[in-house]
Structure 1
Amino acid sequence: MCKEPKKKADNQPKEPIPGIPGYDWVRSDVGEFQSVFRSFMEINAIRKSHRIYDSSVSKFIRLEPCRSDERVYVGGPSDPPFFYVYQCFFRDLGVCLPFTQFECDFLNFINSAACQLHPNS
C-alpha cells in the first residue's frame, strides 16, 4: 500500500478579506469561522455552565446569539452598546462581569479592551 506524499505546508499569508475597509490586516481564512453561539439554546447552555455576570449587574447585561455574518474583529453599531467576548474568559479564566480593577488593568495593558470601572464599583 502506497502512502501519498506529504504536502508542504502553505506558510504564505492568506489574502485579506475583500470589501471590509480597515480590516486588511485580517487573514481571509479568519473570516470563515463563525461563532458557535448562534442561537439562544447555546447562550442558555453557557449561562447555565459558567458564571457570566454578578447579579448586581444582571439588569444591564443581555446575552444574545451572534448572527451568521458577525465576526468578533468587525465593529458594529453601538446603539445599544455591545461587545464581543470569548467563552474562554468565563470557562478558563473565571472572569465574571463586571471586571475587577485588576482585570481592567490587564485588558488595558494588553490593548485588548478600553476598560473602565464604574465610579461606584
Structure 2
Amino acid sequence: MVLLCELEGAKDYPLVIHPVGSDWERKVRAHFTRANGTLNINSYYEEMVGFPYSSSNSESSSDSDGSGNDSDCVIISPSEFSSKNPNNRSLIVADSVATISTSMETSSRFTYDEFVSTFRKVIRVSGEGGEDRVIVDLVAEGEFVTTVNEREPHYFYMYTHVLQTLNLRLPFNSFECQILRVVNVAPCQLHPNSWAFLKAFQIACEDLDVVPTVGIFFCFFHVKNVSPHSLVSISSQPNKGRFSLYASNFKNYRDTFVRFRCGAGYPELMFDASITPLFPFYWSSAPRLIKGT
C-alpha cells in the first residue's frame, strides 16, 4: 500500500522571480524561440514558472512512483483503531500562542495573468464539477500569505506546489477542514510536510475502512510548538509514529501561492450551508498547540 511517493524527484521552483519583460525572461524567451519564430511554450513555462507544461489530470500518475519499490510503504495495524468509540476523544490543547509572522513576507511569482492562466491549464484543482467552479486570482505586488482581506469577496491562499505534489483537490474535505479549524490556521499556514501527513493518514484510513477523524489523527500526531516566524508544523507523537519519513522536504515553495475563491454558485468551496466559513481563510495570529488526544 503506497501512501506517498517520495518527493525527491519533484522539480524545485526557481529561487528568483523573473517578471515578464526582464532581461532573464527575454533571454529565456529567445532561447526557446524556434527558427520559424514560434515559441516552445512547454519549455518556456517550465523554465519560467517551475512546473512542466503537460497534462496532470490523471490521478493515477501521482498515486505511485511506478518503480515497484515499497520502501515508502506504510502499514498501520487495524488494532491501532480498536477503540469502541474511536470518535469520542478529547483533545489536549495548550494555551494559544499569539504570533505575527515576519519571515513569511515572500512575494508570489503569480503576479501576472499569463502565469495564472498557464497554471490553470496545467494543474487540475477541482475535485468535483468543472474547473470553473474554483476561481484562481493573481496576487498583487507586495501581497503576502499573511495579508488579511476584510472585504468581500473572501478568498484564501494556497501554495500551488503543495496542490500539485500531493494531488490535493478543492474543496477540502470534511477531515481537512476540521484539522484547519481545530489548529486554527489558514491553509497556507500549515506546513507542506504537515499536509503530506494529512494526505497519508487519509489514504491509510481509507485502506482500513476507517473514517478519518481529528480524534484519531491526534492520537498519533501533535502540534509540537508554534513559532512566531514559521509555518505551523504537525509531527508524530513520541513513540507513536505511524509513517516513514519521506526522503525530501518541500523546497522553494513560498513564492508559489495564489488566491482561491468560490466560482459562481459554488459557495461550498469556502462556506457551509449557513454561510459559516469552513476554515480560517487568512493567517491566524493564534494557532493552537494540540498536544494529543
TM-score (norm 1): 0.61
Q: Match of 1:68?
A: 141
2:107 touches 2:144 (CA, 8 Å); kept in 1? yes
Letter in 1 for 2:104: V
Mapping for residues 1-121 of structure 1, pairs under 5 Å: 25-27=100-102, 29-31=103-105, 33-54=106-127, 56=129, 58-113=131-186, 118-119=272-273
Distance 1:62 1:79, change over 3 A: same
Question: In angstroms, what is the RMSD of aligned CA positions?
Answer: 2.8
Counterpart code for 2:154: P
In the TM superposition, what is the alpha-carbon distance from 1:58 to its structure 2 partner? 4.6
SS of the residue 1:62 aligns to:
strand
Task: Report which stretch shifted further, 53-62 or 69-78.
Answer: 53-62
- Say which one has the larger Rg: 2
Q: Does the Cα contact within 8 Å between 2:104 and 2:146 map onto a contact in 1? A: no
- Identity score, percent: 22
Which consecutive residues of structure 2, in runs of 5 or more, have no partner in the other structure? 1-98, 188-268, 274-293
Secondary structure, aligned partner of 2:152 = coil
* Distance in 2 (alpha carbons) for counterparts of 1:103 and 1:30: 23
Q: Distance in 1 between matches of 2:115 and 2:158?
A: 14
> What is the identity, as a one-letter code, of the residue corresponding to 1:30?
M
Query: How far apart in 2 are the matches of 1:50 and 1:56?
Result: 15
Is contact 1:38–1:65 with CA below 8 Å preserved after alignment?
A: yes
After superposition, give the CA deviation of every residue in 1:52-108 in whole Å (9 maximum; x if it has no partner): 124536555321110102111010243112111111331122211111112212322
Identify the range of structure 1 (94-103 vs 48-57) with the bigger mean alpha-carbon deviation.
Answer: 48-57
Structure number with the bigger relative contact order (C-alpha 8 A, sep ≥ 6) is 2
1:51 and 1:92 map into 2 onto residues whose CA distance is: 12
Alpha-carbon shift at residue 36 of structure 1 (Å): 0.9
Contact 1:99 1:117 in 2 (8 A): no
The structural deviation recorded for 1:48 is: 2.1
